[in-house]
Structures are given as C-alpha cells and as structure tokens.
Amino acid sequence: MKKTFKMTHPKIKGPRLVEAIKYEVKKYVKRERGKTLPPGADFWDFDCRYGVDEASAEIIHLSAINKSISLAEAEQLESFYLEILAKPGYRTQKPKEEQQVTVGDGVFQSEVEEESKTHP
C-alpha cells in the first residue's frame, strides 16, 4: 500500500476520518498476513514509511503507524504519505548466552558447565 491520505473532508469530521484511516491500515495488514507464505518463510514482515509527502517519508516500525497517524492529526496536517510493503520474514536463532545460577553454597556456575558435567 502506497497512499497519500487526506486529513480533511467536507462531510466527515476529523476524529472519524482518523479512525477510518487507522481501520483501513489495520485491514490491509490483516489481509496481507492472511496470504500464504512463500516456502521457507516464517512470517510476513512489513517495510513501512511515513511522511508529509513521498519524498520526505522516513522508515518507521509497523507498531508506530497509529502513533504517526495521531501525530498527523495533532499537527493538523492536510495530508500525509504512508507506505506499507509486505515481505517474507525469516527467523534467526538467538545466540545461546551463558546464564549464572546459584549452587548450594552460593558459588556461581554457568548452566553450560553444569550440562557438560551431566552429559559426557
């Protein structure tokens, strides 16, 4: 979705128009997430951009879209540009960190060391 939303309308009041825009964005994201994933993909990821116009649009996170729309309302902008592009996302493994645990007499050992002792 690449769209410039107008924040003024002759018949619709501002707050209702903002709610309608937020609902349209939510509906689009839900529709995109419902599509079948390509082979090997784990989830749908979204590239989002927001700005006063297309040239000045900056990258934002998906969760910041509603805040950005509310900000446009607070600044009383006449219009703003919003771009949401779906792409397949792939999960990466988190590195296993050594965690410290307390053993009976208050000495700390890592869980990795304990596991290596129990499993030869």
Using CA atoms, how far apart are residues 82 and 5, in angstroms rounded to an integer? 8
pLDDT for 12 beyond 70:
yes
Residue extents of the structural domains in the chain: 2-89
Q: What is the pLDDT of residues 48-89, one digit of tens each?
A: 999 999 999 999 999 999 999 999 999 999 999 999 999 999
The residue among 117 and 5 whose pLDDT is bigger is: 5
Q: How many CB atoms lie within 10 A of CB 17?
A: 17
Identify the band that residue 94 occupies on the pLDDT scale cut at 50, 70 and 90: confident
pLDDT at 95: 79
Bridging pattern class, strands 43-51 and 58-60: antiparallel
The residue among 96 and 90 whose pLDDT is bigger is: 90
pLDDT at 96: 74
In degrees to the nearest 10, what's the CA dihedral of 26, 32, 35, 36? -120
Helix (H, G, I), strand (E, B), or coil: what is residue 18?
helix
